[in-house]
Amino acid sequence: IEGGSHLFEGEEKVSFLPALVRRPLDVTGVGDAITATLALALAAGGSLEEAAKLANYAGAIVACKKGLTTASSSELRASLREGKAFFRRMLGE
Protein backbone atom coordinates (compact mmCIF):
# COMPACT_ATOMS: atom_id res chain seq x y z
CA ILE A 1 0.00 0.00 0.00
CA GLU A 2 3.03 2.26 0.12
CA GLY A 3 2.26 5.13 -2.22
CA GLY A 4 -0.67 3.38 -3.84
CA SER A 5 -1.53 0.93 -6.59
CA HIS A 6 -1.00 1.16 -10.32
CA LEU A 7 -3.82 -0.48 -12.26
CA PHE A 8 -2.92 -2.09 -15.58
CA GLU A 9 -5.07 -3.78 -18.19
CA GLY A 10 -2.65 -5.80 -20.30
CA GLU A 11 0.31 -3.52 -21.02
CA GLU A 12 -1.71 -0.32 -20.65
CA LYS A 13 -1.82 1.63 -17.39
CA VAL A 14 -5.46 2.38 -16.64
CA SER A 15 -5.16 4.42 -13.44
CA PHE A 16 -3.39 5.02 -10.16
CA LEU A 17 -5.12 4.51 -6.83
CA PRO A 18 -3.34 6.47 -4.08
CA ALA A 19 -2.82 4.86 -0.69
CA LEU A 20 -5.64 5.80 1.66
CA VAL A 21 -3.56 5.38 4.83
CA ARG A 22 -0.23 7.18 5.26
CA ARG A 23 1.00 5.38 8.38
CA PRO A 24 -0.51 1.89 8.56
CA LEU A 25 -0.80 0.30 11.99
CA ASP A 26 0.01 -3.19 10.67
CA VAL A 27 0.36 -4.42 7.08
CA THR A 28 -0.17 -8.09 7.94
CA GLY A 29 -2.80 -9.46 5.56
CA VAL A 30 -3.20 -6.28 3.49
CA GLY A 31 -2.22 -8.01 0.25
CA ASP A 32 -4.56 -10.91 1.01
CA ALA A 33 -7.45 -8.50 1.66
CA ILE A 34 -6.75 -6.66 -1.59
CA THR A 35 -6.53 -9.87 -3.63
CA ALA A 36 -9.67 -11.41 -2.11
CA THR A 37 -11.73 -8.25 -2.51
CA LEU A 38 -10.55 -7.72 -6.08
CA ALA A 39 -11.47 -11.30 -7.01
CA LEU A 40 -14.86 -11.12 -5.29
CA ALA A 41 -15.77 -7.78 -6.90
CA LEU A 42 -14.79 -9.02 -10.36
CA ALA A 43 -16.72 -12.27 -9.85
CA ALA A 44 -19.76 -10.20 -8.83
CA GLY A 45 -19.62 -8.38 -12.17
CA GLY A 46 -17.75 -5.21 -11.23
CA SER A 47 -15.43 -3.51 -13.69
CA LEU A 48 -11.68 -3.70 -13.15
CA GLU A 49 -11.60 -0.10 -11.91
CA GLU A 50 -14.55 -0.62 -9.54
CA ALA A 51 -13.02 -3.81 -8.17
CA ALA A 52 -9.61 -2.16 -7.72
CA LYS A 53 -11.15 0.80 -5.86
CA LEU A 54 -13.04 -1.51 -3.51
CA ALA A 55 -9.91 -3.62 -2.99
CA ASN A 56 -7.89 -0.48 -2.20
CA TYR A 57 -10.39 0.44 0.51
CA ALA A 58 -10.37 -3.11 1.93
CA GLY A 59 -6.58 -3.07 2.12
CA ALA A 60 -6.62 0.28 3.90
CA ILE A 61 -9.14 -0.99 6.45
CA VAL A 62 -6.96 -4.00 7.24
CA ALA A 63 -3.90 -1.72 7.51
CA CYS A 64 -5.69 0.20 10.29
CA LYS A 65 -6.02 -2.90 12.48
CA LYS A 66 -3.51 -4.90 14.49
CA GLY A 67 -2.77 -8.46 13.43
CA LEU A 68 -4.28 -10.68 10.76
CA THR A 69 -7.81 -9.41 10.24
CA THR A 70 -10.48 -8.66 7.64
CA ALA A 71 -12.50 -5.77 6.26
CA SER A 72 -16.21 -6.22 6.94
CA SER A 73 -18.93 -5.17 4.54
CA SER A 74 -20.11 -2.51 7.00
CA GLU A 75 -16.56 -1.12 7.25
CA LEU A 76 -16.29 -1.06 3.46
CA ARG A 77 -19.59 0.81 3.13
CA ALA A 78 -18.60 3.33 5.82
CA SER A 79 -15.14 3.90 4.35
CA LEU A 80 -16.55 4.46 0.86
CA ARG A 81 -19.09 6.89 2.27
CA GLU A 82 -16.72 8.81 4.59
CA GLY A 83 -13.41 8.59 2.73
CA LYS A 84 -10.16 9.47 4.52
CA ALA A 85 -12.02 10.67 7.63
CA PHE A 86 -12.98 7.04 8.25
CA PHE A 87 -9.33 5.95 8.27
CA ARG A 88 -8.18 8.86 10.45
CA ARG A 89 -10.84 7.87 12.98
CA MET A 90 -9.78 4.20 12.87
CA LEU A 91 -6.17 5.21 13.55
CA GLY A 92 -7.12 7.73 16.23
CA GLU A 93 -5.68 10.68 14.31
Active site residues: 32
**Crossing angle of helices 73-82/48-63, nearest 10°?**
100
What one-character DSSP code corresponds to residue 81?
A: H
Contacts of 80 (CB under 8 A, 6+ apart): 54, 57
